[in-house]
Amino acid sequence: MHFTLTMPDWADEELRNLPASLPTVEDRMAAVIRFSRLNIEHDTGGPFDAGVFERDSGKPLMIGVNRVMAHQISSAHAEIMTLSLAQQMLGTYDLGGPSLPAYQFVVNWRPCAMCFGATLWSGIRSLVIAGSGPELEQITGFDEGPVHPEWKAELAKRGIELIEDVLKDEAMAVYRQFADSHAFIYNARLGNAT
Amino acid sequence: MHFTLTMPDWADEELRNLPASLPTVEDRMAAVIRFSRLNIEHDTGGPFDAGVFERDSGKPLMIGVNRVMAHQISSAHAEIMTLSLAQQMLGTYDLGGPSLPAYQFVVNWRPCAMCFGATLWSGIRSLVIAGSGPELEQITGFDEGPVHPEWKAELAKRGIELIEDVLKDEAMAVYRQFADSHAFIYNARLGNAT
Please give the backbone phi and psi of residue A83, each rounded to the nearest 5 degrees, phi first: -65, -40
Kindly state the DSSP code that residue A72 receives in the 8-state scheme: T
**A14 lies in some domain:** yes
Cα–Cα nearest to B28, from B18, B38, B41: B18
Starting from the edge strand earliest in sequence, which strands make up the sheet with B103-107, in order? B60-65, B49-54, B103-107, B126-129, B161-163
Q: Which domain holds residue A24?
A: 9-129+152-193
Question: What pLDDT was estimated at residue B193?
Answer: 36
pTM for the complete prediction? Answer: 0.94
Of B7, B68, B149, the CB nearest to A2: B7
**B4 lies in some domain:** no
CB B143 within 8 A of CB A123: no
CB A28 within 8 A of CB B31: no
Residue B67, Cβ neighbours under 10 Å: how many? 26
Find, in chain A, the residue whose alpha carbon is nearest to that of B79. A75
Residues A8, A46: Cα–Cα separation, whole Å: 12
pLDDT tens for each residue of B141-170? 888 999 999 999 999 999 999 999 999 999
**B3 lies in some domain:** no
- Report residue B157 CA to chain centroid gap: 23
Q: B146–A154: do the CB atoms touch at under 8 Å?
A: yes
Looking at the structure of chain A, the number of domains it has is 1
**A84 lies in some domain:** yes
pLDDT tens for each residue of A51-95? 999 999 999 999 999 999 999 999 999 999 999 999 999 999 999
On the question of pLDDT at A183 being above 80, the answer is no
CB B49 within 8 A of CB B79: no
Cα pseudo-dihedral B75, A78, A23, A30, rounded to 10: -170
**A64 lies in some domain:** yes
Of B71, B87, B115, the CB nearest to A74: B87
Kindly state the DSSP code that residue B108 receives in the 8-state scheme: S
Q: Is B4 left (phi over 0), alpha (psi -120 to 50) or beta?
A: beta
pLDDT tens per residue across all 194 residues of chain B: 999 999 999 999 999 999 999 999 999 999 999 999 999 999 999 999 999 999 999 999 999 999 999 999 999 999 999 999 999 999 999 999 999 999 999 999 999 999 999 999 999 999 999 999 999 999 998 889 999 999 999 999 999 999 999 999 999 999 999 999 876 554 444 443 33
CB A75 within 8 A of CB B80: yes
CB A51 within 8 A of CB A82: yes
**A44 lies in some domain:** yes
Residues A40, A47: Cα–Cα separation, whole Å: 6
Q: B3–A2: do the CB atoms touch at under 8 Å?
A: no
Residue type, A72: Q
Q: B72–A91: do the CB atoms touch at under 8 Å?
A: yes
Of A11, A83, A113, the CB nearest to B117: A113
Q: A93–B118: do the CB atoms touch at under 8 Å?
A: no
ipTM exceeds 0.85, yes or no: yes
H-helix or E-strand spanning residue A129: strand A126-129
> Which positions in chain B touch A120 (Cβ < 8 Å)?
113-114, 145-146
> Which positions in chain B touch A2 (Cβ < 8 Å)?
4-7
**B2 lies in some domain:** no
Residues B84, B76: Cα–Cα separation, whole Å: 10
The CATH number that applies at residue B134 is 3.40.140.10
Sign of CA dihedral A49, A158, B72, A19: positive
CB A119 within 8 A of CB A129: no
**B13 lies in some domain:** yes
Q: B145–A121: do the CB atoms touch at under 8 Å?
A: yes
